[in-house]
Amino acid sequence: MSKLGVLISGRGSNLQAIAAAFPGEVALVLSNREQAPGLAWAAEQGIATCALPSAGREREAYDRDVVERLRAADVELVCLAGYMRLLSRVMLDAFPNLILNIHPSLLPAFPGLDATQQAIAYGVKFSGCTVHYVDQTLDGGPIIAQAVVPVIAGDTAETLAARILVEEHKLYPQAIRQALLRG
Ligand code: GRF
C-alpha cells in the first residue's frame, strides 16, 4: 500500500479530497503553519500530523527537518496541496520525481500567486488546474494532468477559483494514481 505525505499551509480541501479518494494511506500531513485548518481536520481523522513552523527558518535547514519527518513516516510520494513554500534542493534530491503539486491554472499560463486573478485580468475564456511534478522552477515541472473549466462572463477571481476547485478535487487523486503507476 502506497504511503503519501501531504504538505499544506492552509485550508486543506485538496488534502480531504486525496484522503477520500486515494486507495493508499496518507501517512503524514505536515504544515509549515501551525494554525492551518487542514492540520486540525487531519488530526480529527486520526491521520498523523506535524506542525513545523517555517517562519524565520533558513530554507535548506527547514527542508532537512521536513525530509526527516517524511522519512520517519515511510512516505513514498509527497503531495503539495496549498503548500506555500518553494522547495530547496534538499527536498528535491530526497524525493526525486516523487513530489507533486496542484496549481489553479492551465500551466504554463499564470504560474505563481493569484493565478485565478491573473486569468481574469488577462481575459482568458478557459482556465483550469494542473498537477505537475515539482522541480526548482516556480510551478514549472513536467505536467501530469490538467482539467479545463470555462471562464463565465461576470466571473471574479473567487467564482473562478471555486469552479476550478471542484475539478482540483477530482484531478489530484487521479494524477497521484498515474504518478504511482509510472513509478
Ligand atoms: C488550491 O487552489 C491549489 O490549487 C493551490 O492552493 C489551493 C489550496 O487549497 N495550490 P486547499 O488548501 O487544498 O483547500
C-alpha cell at 14: 485538496
Residue among 6, 38, 103, 104 flagged as catalytic:
103
pLDDT average, residue stretch 122-130: 98
Check if 1-96 and 102-183 are the same fold. Answer: yes
Q: Which residues contact 1 (CB under 8 A, 6 or more apart)?
A: 23, 24, 25
Active site residue 103: yes
Among 168, 169, 171, say which to mutate for ligand 1: greatest number of ligand atoms within 8 Å of CB.
168
pLDDT average, residue stretch 82-87: 94
**Does the pLDDT of residue 183 top 90, yes or no?**
no
**Does the pLDDT of residue 136 top 90, yes or no?**
no
Residue 63 and residue 78 in contact, taking contact as beta carbons nearer than 8 Å: no
Instruction: Return the percentage of the chain with pLDDT > 70, whole number.
Output: 100
Instruction: Return the percentage of the chain with pLDDT > 90, whole number.
Output: 95
Q: Is the CB of 13 under 6 A from ligand 1?
A: yes
Q: Is the CB of 128 under 6 A from ligand 1?
A: no
Q: Is the CB of 57 under 6 A from ligand 1?
A: no
pTM of the model: 0.97
Q: Which atom of ligand 1 is nearest to the CA of 102?
A: 4
How confident is the model at residue 22, as a pLDDT? 85
Please, which pLDDT band fits residue 125 given cuts at 50, 70 and 90? very high
Using the mean position of ligand 1's atoms as its centre, give its distance from the Cα of residue 144 in Å: 17
pLDDT average, residue stretch 88-92: 97
- Write the pLDDT tens digit of every residue in 144-177: 999 999 999 999 999 999 999 999 999 999 999 9
Q: H or E segment at 101?
A: strand 99-103
CATH class of 102-183: alpha beta
Would you kindly state where each structural domain of the chain is located, as residue ranges? 1-96, 102-183
Q: Is the CB of 12 under 6 A from ligand 1?
A: yes
From residue 29, alpha-carbon distances to 9, 10, 16 in Å are 10, 12, 11
- Write the pLDDT tens digit of every residue in 10-32: 999 999 999 999 878 999 999 99
pLDDT average, residue stretch 93-102: 97
Q: Which atom of ligand 1 is nearest to the CA of 168?
A: 4
Q: Which CATH superfamily is domain 1-96 in?
A: Formyl transferase, N-terminal domain (3.40.50.170)
Helix, strand, coil percentages, rounded to 5, for the chain:
40, 20, 40
pLDDT average, residue stretch 114-143: 97
Residue 181 and residue 23 in contact, taking contact as beta carbons nearer than 8 Å: no
**Does the pLDDT of residue 4 top 80, yes or no?**
yes
Q: Is the CB of 132 under 6 A from ligand 1?
A: no
